[in-house]
Amino acid sequence: MAGYLIRRILLMIPTLLGITVMVFAISRAAPGDPVSLSMGPGGQMDAQRAADVRKVRMALYGLDKPVHIQYLNWLKRTARLDFGDSIKHHRPVIDLVKERLPITLVLNLISLVAVYLISIPLGIFTAVRQGKFFDRASSVVLFMLWSLPSMWAGQMLIGYFCGPTFKNWFPPAGLSSNFADSLPFFPWLGDRLWHLVLPVICLSYAELAYLTKQVRAGMLDNLRADYVRTARAKGLDNLTVVFRHAFRNSVIPIITIMATLLPAMIGGSVIIESIFSIPGMGRLAFEAITTRDYNIVMAVATIAGFLNLAGLLFADIAYVIADPRITFESIE
Amino acid sequence: MKKLFDKKNWGTSYSQLVWQQFSSNYVNLVCMWFLVFLFTVAVFAPFIANDKPLVIHIDGKVYFPLLSSLTANDYSVFMAAITGVCIVFLMRWNNRNVDPFLRPGVLWRQICICLTVFVICITSVQTLLPRKLNATDYKSILESGQATDGVFTIVPYGYGRTELKVLQQPPSKEHWLGTDDVGSDVLCRLIHGTRISLSVGFVAVGISSIIGIFVGAIMGYFGGKIDFLGMRLVEIMMSVPTFFLIITIVAFFPRSLFNIMLIIGITSWTGDARFIRAEFFKLRNQDFVQSAISLGLPLRSILFKHMLPNGIAPVLVNITFGIAGAIFIESALSFLGFGVAPPTPSWGQMLSAGVSTSGQFLWWLSIFPGLAIFFTVTAYNLLGEALRDAIDPKLRKAI
């Protein structure tokens, strides 16, 4: 197992390098460079002086070197988690990320847990009662949820449940109320959860619909299998057949889906965080783009890529744990 | 030979089988007709919603302001629509009436003829039309009595107009779906926004499927080292969170509609590439491919003429889902403010006006564009599911 993990992590390195090359290439291929941006359109300086200043500044930022040297320098800094300073906040990007990343991760983890907690029982239930009214109704509803644009859902939820016009049930923005810091633990937790209800709903309903469909399809396949008929013929009760025989074999695709759910959610949190004004990574990226804070944008893209890879690795490990027939050697 | 041309002996083709399966469910047909309706709206948008009248009398002369105000953009949309309609209808007509050996050449010539006729028609109409009027507000001209008999379109508003008198009004008799934050008619903007959304879906997915098919075909055909390198590339593209990558690129490059299409296309080709690669792995060892190779046919002929038609089916399904995804991404980008610039109507951008700057919730600015996005995305997704079931039920698990 240790050998596999090491090999797997080593294989991640070229992929991660590829991601950084791509992000770096995007930033260099873009028109304009930081120096001319910070110098503005100019006008007051004469041309010779402007060119001199430009030269000095280019040397200062290391932009006068060839592209591959620039990339290596950038990589060296990035490997030390030094993403440079934010232009807007005048602070190291890594500090901002340290503040914001936990919020996004917690938000996504809560959503992921909610998705799995709801969709697995729902998928099993609809598969067992295939073709009945509940199954058909839920599949229509889930299909609509799957295609529902999350920004619209978020806006409608805020509009109808957070405003004075209709119902004023939930807070429209932020993570906690103004007075939250002075509260004891449990009221504080309640306040936090109260703020998280709508964002978590928005972040998870599409994935919920998708996962439920997959669970249902997997269960249907397994419920039709011969070994389930055998189990029933042995006289086992329905619960045992469904959970110990059919469900156990449907677990594997559910785990692999996790690897695809996580990146979709992290991407989706850009939209959700800016609708609900939650100060997470998505919001950070959104603000960085609107203010052209390049260092933050590149840091966020790199970190998100890394998180993605970690998610894939995690899914592979879970895969092996879930199914004893699969060994680490046989995945490759 | 004569027996071959007898239609009774042609049998049921694969596409006919797919069509039979597809049309057996009325939901699929409803979706299809809904999309046809959307396309009609998109193509004829200037004739449905326009602030210029179709016909107007000024000083005893007749003018056609709407016709003379059509832009090159409108004409290119018409040409594309004509080409599309020609392909669909003439192909069916040809299948019934032209023998199989002549079909491709005939179709090509028919399309050229149709387009030439159209170009001749519009040039003659444009030259015969009376001089252009330099008016912008025909309604006030009509009210002031300088002109008579103005015939307007169903929705007599323009999408780029600012009317400070009617800011943020809920639906009324004059404005069926209300007005937005600069006083433009919501229905009119919705109609013109159809063009943006549908064209983003098509162009973005066109780009991504071309890249995906090309890369996938090369990986699947050659295998070995090329395949290994290609798969690493696919892996990298898959591990970058697409939405982050897209907004990163949007941050660095100038914002325009084409850039958005290009970016969505470039970041979403991995699915197509993997499907084509898997199909080509299977096809590579089949007899017809081996014989094509031994005949010494050029590579592009082997890959795209012989192998591709046999391996395209899963990609077609992926394309349908991809269009839904591209429309969704475009509206999300526009919603966040990274999309097309404001006077150009886009559904996502209209949605973002749903909460006014003072924090008020304007329900008509949220519901109608939202429903438009929702219905379009749902129609494409349903269509994708139906196609997948019709093309190959085994794919059910793969996508």
Specify the pLDDT at position A102.
86
- Mean predicted lDDT score pLDDT of chain B: 83
| pTM above threshold 0.90 | no
User: Do B243 and A143 count as a contact with CB atoms less than 8 A apart?
Assistant: no
Residue A285 in contact with partner chain B when CB distance is under 8 A: yes
Interface of B with A in 208-267 (CB under 8 A): 232-233, 235-236, 239-245, 247-254
A282's tokens:
């998505």
Specify the pLDDT at position A39.
60
pLDDT: which is higher, B44 or A267: B44
Distance of residue B308 Cα from the nearest chain A Cα, in angstroms:
28
* Those residues with Cβ within 8 angstroms of residue B93's Cβ, 6 or more apart along the chain or in another chain: none
pLDDT: which is higher, B302 or A66: B302
Instruction: State mean pLDDT over B104-129.
Output: 85
Residue A163 in contact with partner chain B when CB distance is under 8 A: yes
Most B-contacting residue of A12, A28, A152 (CB-CB within 10 A), to test interface:
A152
Q: Which of A23, A152, A312 sits opposite B373 (nearest CB)?
A: A152
Most A-contacting residue of B244, B361, B385 (CB-CB within 10 A), to test interface:
B244
* Residue B375 pLDDT grade (very low, low, confident, very high; cuts 50, 70, 90): very high
B contacts of A316 (beta carbons < 8 Å) = none
The ipTM is 0.82
Contact B18, B390 (CB under 8 A): yes
Interface of A with B in 215-274 (CB under 8 A): 217, 253, 263, 266-268, 270-271, 274
Distance between CA atoms of residues A275 and B351, nearest Å: 12
What is the secondary structure of A44-91 as a DSSP string?
A: SS-HHHHHHHHHHHHHHHTTTS-HHHHHHHHHHHHHTT---B-TTT-S
A contacts of B378 (beta carbons < 8 Å) = 143-144, 147
**Chain B residue closest to A307 (CA)?**
B239
User: Do A156 and B366 count as a contact with CB atoms less than 8 A apart?
Assistant: yes
Closest among A223, A196, A238, A21 to A111, alpha carbons compared: A196
Closest among B307, B238, B234 to B273, alpha carbons compared: B234
**Distance, C-alpha A195 to centroid of its chain:** 19
pLDDT at B8 over 70: no
Element spanning B314, H or E: helix B313-336
Distance of residue B374 Cα from the nearest chain A Cα, in angstroms:
6
Distance between CA atoms of residues B369 and B367, nearest Å: 6
Q: Which of B247, B351, B374 sits opposite A147 (nearest CB)?
A: B374
Instruction: State mean pLDDT over B83-91.
Output: 86
Instruction: Report the length, in residues, of chain A.
Output: 332
* Residue B209 pLDDT grade (very low, low, confident, very high; cuts 50, 70, 90): very high
pLDDT: which is higher, B10 or A94: A94
User: Do B244 and A267 count as a contact with CB atoms less than 8 A apart?
Assistant: yes
Distance between CA atoms of residues A299 and A285, nearest Å: 9
* Residue B358 pLDDT grade (very low, low, confident, very high; cuts 50, 70, 90): confident
Top mean-pLDDT range of A71-75, A76-80, B95-99, B295-299: B295-299
pLDDT: which is higher, B7 or B281: B281
User: Do A263 and B336 count as a contact with CB atoms less than 8 A apart?
Assistant: no
Specify the pLDDT at position B324.
92
CB-facing half-sphere around the CA of A121: CA atoms within 13 A:
4
Distance of residue B203 Cα from the nearest chain A Cα, in angstroms:
21
User: Do B351 and A270 count as a contact with CB atoms less than 8 A apart?
Assistant: no
Instruction: State mean pLDDT over B221-233.
Output: 86
B contacts of A22 (beta carbons < 8 Å) = 236, 240, 245
> CA–CA distance from A8 to each of A261, A332, B79, B234, B286 (Å)?
21, 9, 53, 17, 35
Q: Which of A160, A163, A308 sits opposite B241 (nearest CB)?
A: A308
Most B-contacting residue of A13, A22, A151 (CB-CB within 10 A), to test interface:
A151
Distance of residue B278 Cα from the nearest chain A Cα, in angstroms:
17
Instruction: State mean pLDDT over B86-111.
Output: 80
Distance of residue B355 Cα from the nearest chain A Cα, in angstroms:
8
B contacts of A158 (beta carbons < 8 Å) = 355, 361
User: Do A152 and B378 count as a contact with CB atoms less than 8 A apart?
Assistant: no
User: Do B374 and A309 count as a contact with CB atoms less than 8 A apart?
Assistant: no
Most A-contacting residue of B28, B30, B240 (CB-CB within 10 A), to test interface:
B240
**pLDDT above 90 covers what percent of chain B?**
19
**Chain B residue closest to A220 (CA)?**
B397
User: Do B338 and A289 count as a contact with CB atoms less than 8 A apart?
Assistant: yes
pLDDT at B36 over 90: yes
Distance between CA atoms of residues A224 and A230, nearest Å: 11
pLDDT at B393 over 90: no
Distance of residue B381 Cα from the nearest chain A Cα, in angstroms:
7
pLDDT at B13 over 50: yes
Distance between CA atoms of residues B199 and B205, nearest Å: 10
> CA–CA distance from B119 to each of B70, B78, B114, B153 (Å)?
14, 10, 9, 24
Coil, strand or helix at A148? coil
B contacts of A170 (beta carbons < 8 Å) = none
**Chain B residue closest to A156 (CA)?**
B366
Residue A301 in contact with partner chain B when CB distance is under 8 A: yes
Distance between CA atoms of residues A54 and A220, nearest Å: 67
**Chain A residue closest to B354 (CA)?**
A155
pLDDT at B376 over 60: yes
pLDDT at B37 over 90: yes
Q: Which of A155, A158, A297 sits opposite B251 (nearest CB)?
A: A297
Residue A187 in contact with partner chain B when CB distance is under 8 A: no
| pLDDT digits 0-9 by tens, B45-72 | 888 888 888 888 877 777 787 887 788 8
| pLDDT digits 0-9 by tens, A57-115 | 777 766 677 778 888 888 888 888 888 777 777 788 888 888 888 888 888 889 989 99
| pLDDT digits 0-9 by tens, B242-273 | 777 788 787 777 778 888 898 889 888 988 99
Calculate ∠ Cα B314-A137-B329, nearest 5°: 45
Specify the pLDDT at position B213.
93
A contacts of B374 (beta carbons < 8 Å) = 144, 147-149, 152
Distance between CA atoms of residues A102 and A280, nearest Å: 8
Element spanning B231, H or E: helix B224-239
Q: What parts of chain A have a pLDDT lower than 50?
A: 331-332
* Those residues with Cβ within 8 angstroms of residue A227's Cβ, 6 or more apart along the chain or in another chain: A245
**Helix locations, chain A, DSSP H:** 2-29, 34-39, 47-61, 67-79, 93-128, 133-147, 150-161, 185-223, 226-233, 238-240, 248-275, 281-290, 294-322, 328-331
pLDDT at B399 over 50: no
What is the secondary structure of B139-161 as a DSSP string?
A: HHHHHTTSEEEEE--SB---TT-
* Those residues with Cβ within 8 angstroms of residue B233's Cβ, 6 or more apart along the chain or in another chain: A18, B215
Residue type, B257: L
pLDDT: which is higher, B121 or B129: B121
Sign for the pseudo-dihedral over CA of B55, B59, B61, B64: negative
Other CB atoms within a 10 A radius of the CB of residue B226 amount to 14
Contact B349, B334 (CB under 8 A): yes
| pLDDT digits 0-9 by tens, A147-185 | 899 889 988 888 888 777 777 777 777 777 777 677 778
Distance of residue B342 Cα from the nearest chain A Cα, in angstroms:
16
Contact A276, A71 (CB under 8 A): no
User: Do B361 and A290 count as a contact with CB atoms less than 8 A apart?
Assistant: no
Contact A328, A2 (CB under 8 A): no
Distance of residue A185 Cα from the nearest chain B Cα, in angstroms:
31
Distance of residue A238 Cα from the nearest chain B Cα, in angstroms:
26
A contacts of B397 (beta carbons < 8 Å) = 217, 253
Closest among A86, A105, A107, A100 to A279, alpha carbons compared: A100
B191's tokens:
């109609």
